[in-house]
Structure 1
Amino acid sequence: MIYDLHCHLDLMPSMREFAKDAKESNINILAVTTTPKAYEKEIAFFHSYENIKIALGLHPQLVSERYNELALVEKYIEDAAYIGEIGLDYNRQFYSAKNKQIDVFENIIKWCSSEGGKVISIHSVHADKNVLDILEKYDCTKNNKCILHWFSGSLSQLRRAVEMGCYFSINEMMMQSLNGRKLISNIPIDKVLVESDAPFINKISTPQQLEVAILRVELYTNTIWNHGSEIIHLSSKSLFK
């Protein structure tokens, strides 16, 4: 079985065709959304697909223009078992919305901590300390599974996240840089998950391409840990309720 813990299903050239083929190929997907309106659409389309889990998201890069949609997140969050993509992005082009990003992220994490039982996929760019501070403030990892998507922080921040109980979803791009490989090798294998981040990496547009991307990463993990891919499968399966 294939598990992809971070995929943008709604950004595929043909979302419904992609989902149908993924189901036939026994590919399990955590389909993150960038807005709650996208979540509404995907839940309506794929609620009967056992292999696809739709996550309720409000992407930090869209917060400046979609800030008012935080109310929609609050509307749906009680019934949403999966949350993402959420987080903080302090890249120069998004930094002006820093305060709004923090407000959105902090509110969502607070709600998740209150509800419990969520699987949360978290984006963090140049904001790892703030992300971890907010998770810690609300003790979010105590009753939720927090996944740091494409983590690129420091080793000390990674160790802090590990101590908090975070998971890490890794991808092909991380394997291609020295820093990415160093970070991967320092994650406990039982906290490693695999993602495609499709379609953003290598312009993945079919389930077959997605499967190849996931298997490449799994094979790489086997060079670091004995039976790495088997352990990753067990961790992934536990998150697909």
Structure 2
Amino acid sequence: MIDFHCHLDLYPDPHAVVRECVARGVYVLSVTTTPSAWAGTAALARDAPRILTALGLHPQLVHERKGELPLFERLLPEVRYVGETGLDGGPEYKHHWQDQVAAFTRILEMSEHAGGRILSVHSRRAARPVLDTLAAHPGAGLPILHWFSGTPRELAQAVELGCWFSIGPAMLAGEKGRALAARMPRDRILTETDGPFAQLDGRAALPWDAEQAVVALAELWGESVPKVRAQIGVNLRHLAEAR
């Protein structure tokens, strides 16, 4: 099982979730929302080699935490994965748009200077500006668009740009999400949960719930569950080789 976008540190009992991930053999990209959260979140995975910790600054928090960008820069040499980063075009964050753009641009510039990183990117209601910003910084690394919800035209732009996609059961529960997933290159898809933010059956999604996305993709693609699971595994290996 692969959960390539999960906020492990934000569960009520993150240590219990980590223990269960280890017991089940789940591969996890544990994303962070602020640079100051990185050290403690990385410590959760100290004895869990299948859990990787990304360095992030969430666009919804940029206006409060932009002062942590120097810390981000100091920590960046220690990590290979950056996330969660990106832009959020929701109306509740429109007053902070310039802060978001400045921070996302700076993070991409730092990633370019560091030789490129694997990026888990938030693009809610902001697909086009996210893609335009990524296009302006081709050396920043390999972007993986988390829970992509743009238009089919924006999806085509993302594919042309070389983006990958992480998709979860919550995204695949909706008609729009399934339609977008059907258009994504199968060799650039990874599964995720976005737990504990994403909800499944009235509860927070857990990393092993990524298997539900495999089942949904099997139905969408008209393939067997083992074949889809194998494809996602191959994709993860190819991503590791791209590092």
TM > 0.5: yes
SS of 2:197's equivalent in the other structure is coil
Match for residue 154 of structure 1?
Answer: 151
Unpaired segments of 5 or more residues in structure 2? none
Q: 2:164 aligns with which of 141, 163, 167?
A: 167
**How much identity, in percent, do the aligned residues show?**
35
Match for residue 204 of structure 2?
Answer: 204
Query: 1:185 deviation in Å?
Result: 0.4
Say if 1:189 and 1:228, in contact at 8 Å, map to a contact too. Answer: no
Query: 1:120 deviation in Å?
Result: 0.8
Match for residue 223 of structure 1?
Answer: 219
- Whether 1:214 aligns to 2:203 is no
- Whether 1:73 aligns to 2:72 is yes
Provide the C-alpha distance between the structure 1 equivalents of 2:117 and 2:48, rounded to a whole number of angstroms. 19
Q: What TM-score, normalized to structure 2? A: 0.91
Provide the C-alpha distance between the structure 2 equivalents of 1:16 and 1:29, rounded to a whole number of angstroms. 14
The aligned length equals 234
Match for residue 57 of structure 1?
Answer: 56
Query: 1:223 deviation in Å?
Result: 2.3
Say if 1:204 and 1:210, in contact at 8 Å, map to a contact too. Answer: no
- 1:62-113: CA deviation from partner (whole Å, max 9, x where unpaired): 0111110111111111221011000101111111110010010001111212
Say if 2:170 and 2:193, in contact at 8 Å, map to a contact too. Answer: no
Match for residue 176 of structure 2?
Answer: 179
Query: 1:117 deviation in Å?
Result: 4.5
Within a 5 Å distance, the mapping from 1:77-96 to structure 2 comes to 77-96=76-95
Q: CA RMSD in A?
A: 1.6
SS of 1:62's equivalent in the other structure is helix
Of residues 23-32 and 107-116 in structure 1, the stretch that sits farther from structure 2 once superposed is: 107-116
Say if 2:6 and 2:207, in contact at 8 Å, map to a contact too. Answer: no
Say if 1:34 and 1:85, in contact at 8 Å, map to a contact too. Answer: yes
Say if 2:87 and 2:126, in contact at 8 Å, map to a contact too. Answer: yes
Query: 1:172 deviation in Å?
Result: 1.4
- 1:2-34: CA deviation from partner (whole Å, max 9, x where unpaired): 110000000111112211221121111100000
Q: 1:195 aligns with which of 187, 192, 205?
A: 192
Match for residue 115 of structure 2?
Answer: 116
Provide the C-alpha distance between the structure 2 equivalents of 1:45 and 1:182, rounded to a whole number of angstroms. 36
SS of 1:157's equivalent in the other structure is helix
Match for residue 105 of structure 1?
Answer: 104
